[in-house]
């Protein structure tokens, strides 16, 4: 019987790509990150680990626009909400792809598909 492909590799690529892109953006434009996060390196590092696409979108939205005010206004909130949805969907897809790898007996483990007599 053929197993269904869960798309775990594609999810891993998307999650890894957003983190690598955020790191490269930080290296290429450190002044933008200093302006947004006030010179702190802790918040961008937490953003890389937890919500990389949202962190990147926040930096882009805060450093663009008229006057470079550093504030989020109007439709910028929509883009930030969509970035949070992309990050949460990526985490959910990774969890769904790995749900069959939980050892039997752990809370939340699925029962075996073909029980042995």
- Hey, where are the domains in the chain? 8-100
Residue 94 near residue 12 (C-beta atoms within 8 A): yes
Contacts for 23 with CB less than 8 Å, ≥ 6 apart: 48
Q: Which residue has the higher pLDDT, 34 or 91?
A: 34
pLDDT digits (tens, 9 = 90+) for 34-90: 888 888 889 889 988 898 889 988 988 888 766 555 678 788 889 999 999 988 887
**Residue 101 is encoded by which pair of tokens?**
């790898």
pLDDT > 70 in the chain, percent: 63
Tens of pLDDT, residue by residue over 49-60, are 898 889 988 988
Distances (CA, A) of 69 to 19, 25, 77, 99: 26, 20, 15, 44
89 closest CA partner among 99, 78, 97: 97
Output 70-78 pairs: Cβ under 8 A, ≥24 positions apart: 70/35, 70/36
């Amino acid at each position: 019987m053929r197993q269904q492909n869960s798309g775990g590799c594609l999810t891993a690529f998307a999650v890894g790509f957003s983190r690598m892109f955020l790191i490269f953006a930080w290296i290429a434009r450190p002044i933008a990150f200093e302006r947004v996060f006030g010179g702190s390196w802790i918040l961008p590092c937490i953003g890389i680990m937890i919500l990389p696409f949202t962190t990147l979108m926040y930096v882009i939205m805060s450093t663009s626009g008229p006057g470079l005010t550093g504030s989020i206004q109007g439709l910028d909130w929509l883009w930030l909400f969509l970035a949070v949805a992309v990050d949460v969907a990526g985490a959910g897809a990774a969890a769904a792809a790995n749900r069959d790898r939980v050892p039997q007996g752990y809370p939340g483990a699925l029962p075996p598909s073909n029980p042995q007599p």
